[in-house]
Amino acid sequence: MIREFAEWFEDQLSGLGRYALLCAETGLAMVTQRLSFSDLLYQLHFIGVKSQAVVVITGAFTGMVLCAQTFFQFHKVKMDTATLAVVSVSMGSELGPVLTGLMVAGRVGAAMAAELGTMRVTEQIDALRTLATHPIDYLVVPRVLATLLALPLLTAESIAIGIAAGYGVGVGLLGIDSAYAWHNMLRYTYVEDIIIGLLKSVVFAGIVATVSCYKGMNCREGAEGVGRATTEAVVASSITVLMSNFFLTMFLNRLIYGYD
């Protein structure tokens, strides 16, 4: 039992080391290597444009249900007009970036791991090395950079759609006074709340892209290995996003608002 745990711990530790090396090589390649803009544009279209539907639907219904649940509780204490303020702050600093990161991890992260895993199983990555092309420069960097550019934009879109949908539900269905709801939202929602959400989205983008690429490039042989790498990429990136969100919330709020 102890020996099995020691082997498992050693495997996890070595995997963490390989992941750190991949992140270091990717960051260095972004600065020193010449980027193929055609590959970057393709990845931006795949990651950003094609992810809009799931991001918009997620943001809209999250804002709607958050508005409804907040109204049901605030109505008990006659605070109906503060409902939209809660929706805007929650969507801006927490739910917008987190849910967008999770949706992108499920859609894009799985695709990245499957593509790179298939290339590894079919020895296409080894063929790149024989042609003097570094796989990190050609495969990983465009995907990571495109995710870093696309995810903050998707997050901003999700925040805006969520607030608009919450406003529509609150004013149109629940009968909240539109003028007071809008006034309270502007009064209690700060620019810093949106900045926190966008900063989180950049970190989440790096996590999703690097974890997915690492799982794909280090998958085992065969179709089973590709399937397992795809599953591990989604699970690992989603859990890491949720865990890092707590530490980012504590750090960014203390940094920006100065909470002790």
Report the C-alpha gap between 116 and 118 in whole angstroms. Answer: 5
pLDDT digits 0-9 by tens, 94-139: 999 999 999 999 999 999 999 999 888 888 888 888 887 788 888 8
**In this structure, are residues 259 and 155 in contact, taking their beta carbons and an 8 Å threshold?**
no
The whole-chain average pLDDT of the chain stands at 90
Tell me the helices (H) and strands (E) count for the chain, helix number first. 12, 0
pLDDT digits 0-9 by tens, 20-46: 888 898 888 888 877 778 888 999 999
**In this structure, are residues 174 and 84 in contact, taking their beta carbons and an 8 Å threshold?**
no
Report the C-alpha gap between 137 and 34 in whole angstroms. Answer: 9
pTM: 0.92
Tokens representing 152?
């903050």
> Average pLDDT for residues 46-63, to the nearest whole number?
94
Report the C-alpha gap between 144 and 147 in whole angstroms. Answer: 5
Residue with the bigger pLDDT between 213 and 133: it is 213
The per-residue DSSP string of 146-159 comes to HHHHHHHHHHHHHH
Neighbour tally for 256: CB within 10 Å: 15
